[in-house]
Structure 1
Amino acid sequence: MTSSFSSASSSSSSKPWIYDVFLSIRGEDTRKNFTDHLYFTLKDAGINTFRDDNELRRGEDISTELLQAIQKSRISVIVLSRNYANSRWCLEELVKIMECRRSCRQLVFPIFYDVDPSDVRKQTGSFAEAFARHEERFVLQKDKGKVATWRMALTEAANLSGWDLRNVADG
């Protein structure tokens, strides 16, 4: 894993990247375990990694700083966990990441943390429950397009080659 990150960051030295890696996580699901280990392992390997350390702010729009961090990252690692889709903030991050994948040729690697990749792809299980709540809320706000955009981004991310940690000891 380290060699692909190192070669990606060194070959892009002429690009406007500020970060080698942007970590997209649902903090309450993985912050105190898997993503802390991943973050510090990347940092110890000399990989400049962005992770939003602030708790998610309810009802606020995703910050400009966070959107810029995504855009200025060479690689995004999306840790898709059971409650990832519950967070509008995470879903907005994901939309921006997938846009950067298309427009800036950003590399995107999904990690399926304690979730079945097909649940993410098809939005079943906990993802179906989260989207039912989002659809109910956004129907009232007359903004169903936002939910459709989130669904497409989630499907696109789940279709990428990634790591399914359910098959690895303790994730």
Structure 2
Amino acid sequence: MATTSKIQKGPSPVSSSCSETHVKFDVFLNFRGEDTRDNFTDHLYHSLVDNGIHTFKDAHKLDAGTDMKQNLLDAIRKSKMALVIFSKDYASSTWCLEELTEIFKCMKERGMKIWPIFYHVQPSDVRQQKGTFGEPFVKHSKNFKEKVDKWKFALKQVASLSGSHLKDG
């Protein structure tokens, strides 16, 4: 049964706008490549595409290049919805957190739909940033102090939405 969650206001996410863009993708997949790219996310992507759903999946490991970053942010802004796949090491990726912040911003600005998928992780650990969802923020706080509050807020809000919980086994 679906539940409704109230979205709180929080720190302002990434500065550029998602409200003026036209839709290019039905779905944007946000995931930690090392955790799920070659298994769950790949199967999900092919199932969506095989059913005629125009889906964006980052097909390559992310380089630090500005063009790649801008292309990914543009793909988020041009998507109707995002599937956010929370996996064990998701929070250790600053790029996953940057994408998540942009996805959350698009939800607030233009009503983008978000469906979180908890892939072998506990939803409460994601919401409360415990375990593998809390440990990376110690390091992030040292290197990305100005972004950590935005990342934590987006993580808590998106993890509070109705979604799917895929357990071990």
Flag whether TM exceeds 0.5 (same fold): yes
Give 2:16's aligned residue: none
**Partners of 1:21 and 1:112 in 2: CA distance:** 17
Consecutive unaligned residues in structure 1, runs of 5 or more: 1-14, 139-143
C-alpha RMSD over aligned residues? 1.5
- Structure 1 pair 35–50 and aligned structure 2 pair: CA distance change class (3 A): same
Give 1:27's aligned residue: 33
**Partners of 2:42 and 2:70 in 1: CA distance:** 24
Q: Percent identity?
A: 48
CA-to-aligned-CA distance 1:32-90 (integer Å, 9 cap, x gap): 11011100000000000000112022x55661111110000001000000111111111
- Where has structure 1 moved over 4 Å in runs of 4 or more? 59-62
2:165 is equivalent to residue 164 of structure 1: yes
2:114 is equivalent to residue 108 of structure 1: yes
Give 2:4's aligned residue: none
Give 2:91's aligned residue: 85
Number of aligned residues: 148
Q: CA deviation at 1:104?
A: 1.3
The structure with the greater share of residues assigned to helix is: 1
Pairing of 1:40-79 with structure 2 (within 5 A): 40-57=46-63, 63-79=69-85
Task: Look up the SS of the partner of 1:63 in the other structure.
Answer: helix
2:36 is equivalent to residue 36 of structure 1: no
TM-score normalised by length of structure 1: 0.82
Give 1:146's aligned residue: 147
Larger radius of gyration: 1
Q: CA deviation at 1:151?
A: 0.2
2:119 is equivalent to residue 118 of structure 1: no
**Partners of 1:134 and 1:60 in 2: CA distance:** 20
